[in-house]
């Protein structure tokens, strides 16, 4: 099993377990609750993102690689939710910010790492 696969599986499992144990809200849209009811758009977009990541995973190094691992894991975690439940399960809520989950955090950190990686490259 590759390092990419192992890390991704662990992160996806962590995301799904945390959502199962802690779900407190349901998001039928995207970030900040926008585009409510666009479930199939986000599922298809998720598969495109997964394909992008799998294509580039062997072409980047260092933190760019881990950015792709995080982006892949977060995308898979939220696509699972959309396919199984029809919405994304959220549970992290600071009150002043829309609620989110670990997959959202993985996606955000992954994109930040990729932006820095490609900007420096």
Catalytically annotated residues: 90, 104
Distance (Å, rounded) from C-alpha 104 to C-alpha 62?
22
Count of other CB atoms within 10 angstroms of residue 7 = 16
Q: Which of 37, 41, 11, 17 is nearest to 26 (CA)?
A: 37
């Amino acid at each position: 099993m590759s390092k990419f696969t192992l890390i991704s599986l662990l992160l996806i499992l962590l995301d799904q377990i945390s959502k199962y144990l802690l779900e407190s809200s349901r998001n039928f849209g995207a970030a900040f609750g926008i585009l409510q009811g666009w479930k199939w758009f986000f599922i298809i977009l998720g598969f495109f993102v997964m394909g992008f990541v799998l294509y580039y995973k062997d072409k980047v190094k260092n933190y760019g690689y881990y950015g792709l691992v995080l982006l892949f894991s977060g995308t898979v975690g939220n696509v699972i939710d959309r396919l199984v439940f029809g919405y994304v399960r959220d549970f992290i809520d600071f009150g002043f910010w829309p609620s989110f989950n670990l997959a959202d955090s993985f996606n955000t950190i992954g994109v930040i790492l990729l932006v820095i990686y490609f900007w420096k490259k």
